[in-house]
Amino acid sequence: MDLSLLQHLAAGNTWGAIRPELALGCLALGLLVLDLLFPKRAGGLVACVSLAGQLAVLADVLCHFHSVWLNQDTFNGLLHPSLAGQAMRVFLLLSSILVVLLARVTLAKHPAPRIEFYHIVLVVTAALMLLVQSNHFVMLFLALETVTVGFYILVSYFRTSTASLEAGLKYLILGALSSALLLFGIAILYGVAGNPFLPGHSADAMRYAELAQFLTLNPHNFLASVGIVLVLAGVAFKVGAFPFQIWIPDVYQGAPTPVTAFLAVASKGAGFAVLLGLVLRAFPSYGWLVTPVITAMAVATILFGNLAALTQHNVKRLIGLSGVSHAGFLLLGVAAAPYAPLAVGAIYFYLLAYLIASFTVFGVMAHLAGPEDSDQELEHYAGLAKDHPFLGAVLAIGLGSLAGIPPLAGFMGKFFVFVAAYQAGMHGALVVAIAGVVVSIYYYFGWIKAAYFEAWKAPAAGSVPVPTPVGKLFGLVLGVLALGSIVLGFYPGPLGHWLQW
Amino acid sequence: MGQFLFSVFACLTVVCAAGVVVCKNVVNAAMCLLLSLLGVAALFVRLDAFLLAFLLLLVYAGAVVALFLFIIMLLDTRGQQAPQARRGLTVAPRIAAAALVVAGLASLFVKGRLATPAVGTVPALGASLKLHAYLLFTTYLLPVEIISFLLLIAMLGVIVLSKREGEHSGYGN
């Protein structure tokens, strides 16, 4: 064995570059040890430990935002840390912290095990953080599979509820199908790029850079096009873009509320980071194929999401389908990304605004949910603003931001994405998107109307679950989130500047 | 001799693959799948791809088909009539499958033999187990570590989802 070669290769494994992910993995293992050592008291302790640990990791990422590994390949080119990757790390950590906070509220109402939930959330977050930095298809697929397996468990976590089990089964089957599509696409790309008869063939075409080089030299290869479309389809499944959105309503309704939030925000956000990486770094020379496919998907997704959400009465289904329309707006940004320099920053800003607004709404939903988590109807919100003015106000701000009402952050996010789409010359798609925004205002305001103006409709006490009283910590978090929506709307400056890459 | 062995294993693979589709009895279909995989593994051995051949045998023939058989035996479908699918549903896949076979054969006849690259133009890569193992513990160390976490949460998930009510230690409250 050649020792010097071994040393050289081992030097490629720059473990310091993934310190936050390693810390999350160790924290997850630590939770299991905690359960082993203190089986009686671990239930309450574990959420606090997980929360404190994640806050420490978040502080670490923020302190070392411009880390030394930025823009150079680590782990022999498997990962590519970048400023966008750092921003996504912060985004994913914020969402996992908020998911843990939501879980404390929701799990208190259900006889389900605790430690495993927090453990899986931590592992999934670490995998998502690796996923958004991946620079290699092996890395992409494995990180994605770890995330998906984690979500199979989390979605069916309340296994005494039939809705949760049904959601888990649907997610399992459709998730496996989408993984198969993705894997098939990767295999085709690897196979065609390894063909020694084609110019620029490579023995390691799993690497984005080598694949991009091969694709530049073979600009209209049929097999490569099939592979690219299959890979895009696999990722589109995960973000819930049309025509791969069929699993969304049932899974979002059946999954426990914190898991729905995790799926809606973290999983979708990471999906878009992956999509951006693929479009900009792996397939840049196939714009003739990628741009029309993603634009068509964006238009169809916006139309489907908004029209299907109009008729929903269950708030979890409503937020799921409205999430589909948000995926459409984000896809518009992805389609514009190769042509408009503003688009990448706009997508990250949109994602942040979406995170803040979504968790505001999910926070209210977690408090209003009864013992059956999937049964959260619009009628349960009747008279909310009168009985619980704080929850009502926070809900209105969150929904307003999701709808894109001017002074709030959601409006600025949509505005930036639309400007980017305009710069890229996608005028037709822009008209559809603006029509979609108008439609979305209808159903978001239907929800606000239920909370504010339908006090007379409030059913007799006992027929509707009583909201859990809002704890001090959670009240503070909800207040900060609502304030964040307002402040970012009025003054997006620092972040908008920050995201100019 | 080589040509003869190739023909034998290729026939075994194709005939057994057809058997998987045609067999009415699910146990027989699963056994056909096993034989078909054996044929493919033998073809890989003939190509000097020993690792691939053994992985196919261990993972697919050994684990996946065994799992299929296990589930079939568990469900015990003997003596039950397979539910009649709607006519249109069975016709469409038949036409699609036939079209695929015809297209494959046609492409073979139109394009003729596959072009054979000159010796030396194809880099001899990755056939040996040693090289694979070496890569797994150097270049691809991080993915291997990720898989360990994947297996850990999968195991935890099975325990959480299948444990009987009231046995959980961490219920809280």
Question: How buried is A364 (Cβ within 10 angstroms: 0-12 exposed, 13-18 middle, 19+ buried)?
Answer: buried
Contact residues, chain A, for B141 at CB < 8 Å: 13, 75
Number of domains in chain B: 2
**ipTM confidence:** 0.88
Token pair listed for A215: 């694709």
Looking at the predicted structure, is the pLDDT value of residue B22 above 80?
yes
Residues sharing a CB contact under 8 Å with residue A55, sequence separation 6 or more, in sequence order: A97
- Shortest CA distance from A12: residue in chain B: B139
Chain B: residues touching A (Cβ < 8 Å): 115, 117, 121-123, 125, 138-143, 146-147, 149-150, 152-154, 156-157, 159-161, 163, 165, 168-173
Let me know: does B143 contact A139? Beta carbons within 8 Å.
yes
Q: For chain A, state the CA radius of gyration.
A: 22
Which regions in chain A score pLDDT beneath 50? 501
Determine the pLDDT at residue B86. Answer: 63
Final residue before a domain boundary, out of B79, B111, B140: B79
CA distance A176 to A145: 9
| Cα A162-A165-A166 angle, rounded to 5 deg | 85
Q: What is the pLDDT of residues B89-144, one digit of tens each?
A: 778 888 888 899 898 888 878 776 666 655 555 555 555 777 778 888 888 889 99
Instruction: Flag whether residue A31 sits within 8 Å of chain B, measured between CB atoms.
Output: no
Does the pLDDT of residue B173 top 50, yes or no? no
Q: Which of B139, B156, B171 sits opposite A111 (nearest CB)?
A: B171
Identify the band that residue B172 occupies on the pLDDT scale cut at 50, 70 and 90: very low
Please give the residue of chain A at the shortest CA–CA distance from B122. Answer: A196
pLDDT 10s digits, A11-27: 777 888 888 999 999 99
Look at residue B88 and tell me if it is in a domain. no
Is 80 exceeded by the pLDDT of residue B171?
Answer: no
Residue B23 lies in a domain: yes
Q: What is residue A225's predicted lDDT score, i.e. its pLDDT?
A: 93
d(C-alpha B171, C-alpha B156), whole Å:
16
Whether B7 and B72 share a structural domain: yes
Quick one: pLDDT band at residue B169, thresholds 50, 70, 90? very low
Whether residues A107 and B138 touch (CB distance < 8 A) is answered with no
Domain enclosing residue B141, as ranges: 126-163
Tell me which residue of A106, A85, A96 sits closest to A53, measured CA to CA.
A96
Task: Indicate the SS3 state at residue A207.
Answer: strand
Cα dist from A34 to A42, B138, B155, whole Å: 6, 32, 18
3 state SS of A283: coil
What's the rounded Cα separation, in Å, for the pair A358 and A484? 12
- CATH number of the structural domain spanning residue B11: 1.20.120.1200
pLDDT the model gives residue A10: 65
Query: How near does any CA of chain B get to the CA of A107, in Å?
Result: 9
A126–B149 C-beta distance less than 8 A? yes
Interchain contact, A46 vs B170, CB within 8 Å: yes
Contacts with A150 from chain B: Cβ below 8 Å: 153, 157
CB A52, CB A71: distance < 8 Å: no
**pLDDT value of residue B163:** 79
Q: A176, A181, A150: which is closest to A266 by C-alpha?
A: A150
Contacts of A120 in chain B (CB under 8 A): 153, 156-157
| Interface contact A75-B142, CB threshold 8 A | yes
Residues 6+ apart with CB under 8 A from A87: A348, A499
User: What pLDDT is stored for residue B125 in this prediction?
Assistant: 54
- Residue in A235, A271, A39 with CA at minimum distance from that of residue B169: A39
Q: How confident is the model at residue B62 (pLDDT cuts 50, 70, 90)?
A: confident
pLDDT of residue B87: 64
All residues of chain B having their beta carbon less than 8 Å from the beta carbon of residue A111 are 165, 171
Selected for mutation to probe chain A from B131, B142, B168 (highest A CB count within 10 Å) is: B142
| pLDDT over 50 at B153, yes or no | yes
Partners of B171 on chain A (C-beta within 8 Å) are: 43, 111-114
| Chain A nearest CA to B59, separation (Å) | 17
Smallest CA–CA distance, residue A42 to chain B, in Å, is: 6
- Residue A217's Cα: distance from chain center in Å? 34
State the best of A9, A79, A142 to mutate against chain B, taking most chain B CBs within 10 Å.
Answer: A142
Of A10, A44, A130, nearest to B172 by CB-CB distance is A44
Contact A274, A134 (CB under 8 A): yes
Number of A to B CB contacts under 8 A, please give it: 108
Best of B119, B128, B152, B153 to substitute, by most chain A Cβ atoms within 10 angstroms, is B153
Q: How far apart are CA A479 and CA A472, in angstroms?
A: 11
d(CA A406, CA A400): 9
d(CA A340, CA A337): 5
Side-chain-side CA neighbours of residue B48 (13 Å):
5
Say which of A113, A127, A153 has its CB closest to residue B171. A113
CA distance B150 to B163: 20
The two three-digit tokens of residue A124, written as one number: 């999934």
Residues A20 and A57: beta-carbon distance below 8 Å: yes
Task: Give dist(CA A368, CA A109) in Å, integer.
Answer: 11
Of A145, A146, A196, the CB nearest to B122: A196
Task: Give contacts of A44 with chain B, Cβ < 8 Å.
Answer: 172
**What angle separates helix A315-336 from helix A287-309, to the nearest 10 degrees?**
160
Q: In this complex, do B142 and A13 lie within 8 Å of one another by their Cβ atoms?
A: yes
